[in-house]
Amino acid sequence: MKNKYKIYSTLVLSMIVGLMATSCETDFNNPNAATADQAFSSRDGILAVTVGMQQLYSTSGMRWIVETPAITTREGAITTTFQNMIELEEGGTGLPNFNSNVQGLWATMLRVMKIAEDIEANVDNVTLAPGTRSGLLAYSKLFKAMAIGSLAQNYEQVVIQTSNDNDAAFVSRNDGFLAAIALLNEGKAALAANPVSQEFTNAVTLGNIDVLNSINAYLARYNLFAGNFEAAITNANSVSTTSTSVFAYDNINLNPIYNRVFLNGIANFRPRDNFGLPSSDFVFDPTDGRRAFYISPSPDTNQNGLPIENLLGFFDMSTESIPLYIPDEMQLIIAEANLRKASPDISAATTALNNVLTDTDDVFGINADVPAYSGPATAEALLLEIYKNRRAELFLSGLSLEDSRRFNRPQPSGNGSVFTEERNRNFYPYPDLERNSNPNTPADPSL
């Protein structure tokens, strides 16, 4: 794992925004580039690096987080001849370690982790107001947790601490979620001691991201994934239903999914009909408002004969914001956790599910607005309904591969180009760029 960094400075919004870039095969000397020590030697420098971390995650990171599992789980179908996309849609045991999506997701999350670690390591070397310091600490821990969580959703083992010596240790994906949970709780404690200052908000989030609500939302998500169901319910209940947190884009930093689907009129992928779920098993109400929110009908098919639609939602404009989380995800977490906990609560799960089904006032306009659940009052039936609604509510949010495994959807065969399978991999292989530099890289998963 290559963890050398240089800071490149550009003037953005009257401040210097430091962007960290990994050195891979070659380092190019830049006489105008600030060193890492210089970047972390001042208030403006550390705030700028934090903005750079956010920008890296929201642009390059969000591309890999959304696109990669979307193709694997049939949320999307390719509309390009680029080899990386062909390999993803074919899937199976033949997916190569050098696939650029497999590499891009891994490498970008490690870059985010490294920047977050550097922010935390240097925050006490600069004189800062208490609320600015706590904001930097909480934000760096939030982004490191999100990066670890994204890896744990897609790889069987993950790195939770980077190493400049290219020998980072690997842990199980469940331990990855536990590490992310610990980071989020540490960030939450920092905010409890000193709420975020206006200085931090003005310099970093610009009011687009509610740090505390985002931490609670990700605590709910990762506790669910880790099997901590009571903690998932508690944290989900603490998230405001009216507050929003979004990655904002502009004419320089474009919405990364727009880039992949609409830019220059050349789509790399398009959404599948029925949210990518088999219509034989999952039937959506024709009036379900989430269909019209995320997709518009099309008679088209892709080169592999898969029916595809036109993309809407958060992705059809170049500067459209993408949420860090969807508020109704919290209701779906409450519903699922109540069914999976030691003493299942069918009534509480049904109530939470119905809050999603009958929603008419979602802050983002993702309103199913359909009748309440009327199926069997069993955990098995309700879990299937929750899975279906997670796919519709959280469409193209990067959660589909984690969901498909967790809800025990049919296992892939391992054969390539079986396009009728709901997913064509369970986990991704470890990238060559990691294996070639880190002796601790595990064997690839069988599928």
- What domain range includes position 352? 5-407
According to the model, what pLDDT value does residue 37 have?
A: 72
pLDDT at 17 over 50: no
Average pLDDT over residues 69-91: 98
In a domain, 426, yes or no: no
In a domain, 415, yes or no: no
Average pLDDT over residues 313-331: 98
In a domain, 60, yes or no: yes
Cβ within 8 Å of residue 368, ≥6 positions away? 285, 288, 289, 290, 356, 357, 358, 359, 389, 392, 393
In a domain, 366, yes or no: yes
According to the model, what pLDDT value does residue 268 have?
A: 98
CB neighbours of residue 435 within 10 Å:
17
DSSP reduced 3-state for 263 = helix
pLDDT at 418 over 90: yes
Measured distance CA(385)–CA(369) in Å, rounded: 15
pTM of the model: 0.93
According to the model, what pLDDT value does residue 41 have?
A: 86
pLDDT single digits (tens) 33-65: 455 677 898 999 999 999 999 999 999 999 999
In a domain, 441, yes or no: no
Which run of H or of E encompasses 237? helix 229-237
In a domain, 308, yes or no: yes
According to the model, what pLDDT value does residue 38 have?
A: 73
Average pLDDT over residues 151-168: 97
pLDDT single digits (tens) 192-229: 999 999 999 999 999 999 999 999 999 999 999 999 99
In a domain, 16, yes or no: yes
As a whole number, the mean pLDDT across the chain is: 92
pLDDT at 5 over 80: no
In this structure, is the dihedral angle defined by the CA atoms of residues 198, 203, 208 and 212, taken in order, positive or negative?
negative
Which tokens go with 20? 């960290």
pLDDT single digits (tens) 98-135: 999 999 999 999 999 999 999 999 999 999 999 999 99
Higher-pLDDT residue of 224 and 17 is: 224
CATH number, domain of 85, equals 1.25.40.390
In a domain, 421, yes or no: no
| Structural domain count of the chain | 1
Which tokens go with 430? 């470890």
Measured distance CA(341)–CA(223) in Å, rounded: 12
